[in-house]
């Protein structure tokens, strides 16, 4: 199963998009928005936030610097809003080398899987495999009983005998979840080697590792493809809005509507049968 296969959605863009520009340009723009709204986000919220970016761009509106004002939620909402502004030319300072994860994520979804995406789970897979304290995260911030925030170090807990390596290997958030910009290429190498070994594209190799290690690295999203998760969010919203999925998809692709963070939950809808898919 190829998590990054979004060709059915690309085809729907071709059927429904009515300009300006080409449907391929609009499709790439959407996947770039998925990239910029991905940091520290669930896939389902990622989908919703990307459609909000698409709507703002289509309507000629400026993306707010505040995540809350942009309609984003959760951790790093402001970061995602500012990154989106930079990517789409509303603010200076965008640098591909400083945004390799989000850039490669968007490109992989758009069909270019020549680079592995070293996201939090890909990095944790590598970190945890080492079973080496040097790969534990430096510090974790938590809300203390008094209401304020404090920090603790997993490395210190291990060194002081307050926890064990066996315990730490059951707690993925204790491990490094992002390489430095300079080390990104080095972290991607194991996935490129695996891709060569098994005759896969690097993006496919990374996605396969994501599936295989989901229970170990703290993946919160049910393991379905991006296309399936997009469909689920579309159907939830369509049901809540009393529209057909096709009608709502037309509105989303052409910037007249976005997908909200929640709709009518439809847990029995996945996996979709072939005659239910948008392709």
The CB density around residue 20, as the number of other CB atoms within 10 Å, is: 8
* pLDDT one-digit tens code per residue, 258-268: 998 764 433 33
* pLDDT one-digit tens code per residue, 113-149: 999 999 888 899 999 999 999 999 888 877 777 777 8
- Residue 273 pLDDT more than 50? no
Work out the average pLDDT over 219-246: 87
CB 80 within 8 A of CB 34: no
Spatial distance between the Cα atoms of 178 and 181, rounded to a whole number of angstroms: 9
- Please report, rounded to a whole number, the percentage of residues in the chain having pLDDT higher than 90: 65
Report pLDDT for 39. Answer: 92
Report pLDDT for 225. Answer: 85
- Residue 1 pLDDT more than 70? no
CB 140 within 8 A of CB 228: no
Phi, psi dihedrals of residue 40, rounded to the nearest 5°: 50, 45
Work out the average pLDDT over 39-48: 91
Work out the average pLDDT over 150-177: 91
> If residue 143 lies in a helix (H) or strand (E), which one and from where to where?
strand 140-143
Q: Which of 66-70, 102-106, 193-197, 220-224 has the lowest mean pLDDT?
A: 220-224
Work out the average pLDDT over 14-40: 95
- Please report, rounded to a whole number, the percentage of residues in the chain having pLDDT higher than 70: 91
Task: Specify whether the backbone of 141 is left (phi greater than 0), alpha (psi in -120 to 50) or beta.
Answer: beta
- Residue 222 pLDDT more than 90? no
- Residue 274 pLDDT more than 80? no
Work out the average pLDDT over 197-220: 81
DSSP 10-43: HHHHHHH---SS-HHHHHHHHHHHHHHT-TT--H
Report pLDDT for 48. Answer: 95
């Amino acid at each position: 199963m190829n998590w990054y296969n979004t060709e059915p959605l690309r085809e729907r863009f071709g059927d429904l998009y009515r300009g300006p520009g080409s449907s391929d340009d609009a499709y790439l723009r959407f996947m770039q928005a998925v990239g910029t709204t991905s940091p520290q986000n669930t896939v389902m919220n990622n989908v919703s936030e990307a459609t909000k970016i698409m709507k703002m761009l289509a309507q000629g509106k400026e993306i707010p610097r505040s995540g809350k004002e942009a309609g984003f939620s959760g951790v790093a909402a402001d970061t995602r809003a500012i990154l989106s502004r930079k990517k789409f030319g509303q603010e200076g300072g965008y640098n591909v080398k400083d945004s390799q994860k989000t850039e490669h994520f968007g490109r992989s979804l758009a069909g270019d899987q020549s680079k592995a995406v070293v996201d939090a789970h890909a990095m944790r897979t590598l970190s945890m495999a080492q079973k080496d304290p040097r790969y534990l995260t430096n510090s974790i911030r938590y809300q203390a009983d008094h209401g304020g925030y404090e920090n603790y170090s997993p490395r210190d807990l291990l060194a002081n005998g307050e926890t064990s390596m066996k315990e730490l290997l059951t707690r993925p958030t204790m491990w490094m979840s992002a390489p430095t910009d300079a080390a990104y290429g080095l972290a991607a190498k194991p996935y490129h080697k695996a891709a060569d070994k098994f005759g896969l594209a690097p993006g496919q190799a990374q996605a396969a590792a994501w599936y295989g290690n989901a229970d170990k690295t703290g993946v919160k999203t049910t393991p379905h493809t991006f296309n399936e998760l997009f469909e689920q969010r579309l159907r939830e919203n369509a049901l809540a809005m009393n529209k057909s999925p096709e009608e709502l998809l037309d509105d989303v692709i052409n910037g007249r509507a976005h997908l909200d963070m929640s709709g009518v939950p439809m847990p029995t809808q996945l996996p979709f049968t072939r005659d239910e898919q948008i392709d």
